[in-house]
């Protein structure tokens, strides 16, 4: 529902979570909508600054299927 509403209104949705269920649900929802691109970005603290690691829809589906930690 959130992704469809964002698509209709031409807006981006940013969410933050530590919940595996939310990550898996997001992977499934974004994969079901062909014309919506869902991306998960994990921020990782480095010795100097922060590094952003991006996961595509395909990465997320694989992670969800195999229970690979991406949070």
Domain ranges of the chain: 2-66
pLDDT digits (tens, 9 = 90+) for 28-40: 888 888 888 888 8
> Residue 46: which pLDDT band, with cuts at 50, 70 and 90?
very high
User: What confidence tier does 48 reach under pLDDT thresholds 50, 70, 90?
Assistant: very high
36-55 as b/e: b if 16+ CB within 10 A = eebebeeeeeeeeeeeeeeb
Task: Please state the rounded mean pLDDT for residues 42-63.
Answer: 89
Q: Above 90 in pLDDT, residue 1? A: no
Please say whether the beta carbons of 39 and 69 come within 8 A.
Answer: no
Mean model confidence pLDDT for the chain: 86
């Amino acid at each position: 529902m959130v992704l469809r509403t964002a698509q209709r209104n031409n807006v981006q949705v940013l969410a933050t979570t530590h919940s595996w269920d939310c990550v898996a649900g997001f992977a499934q929802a974004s994969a079901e909508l062909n014309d919506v691109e869902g991306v998960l970005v994990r921020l990782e603290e480095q010795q100097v600054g922060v590094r952003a690691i991006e996961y595509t829809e395909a990465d997320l589906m694989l992670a969800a299927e195999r229970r690979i930690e991406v949070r």
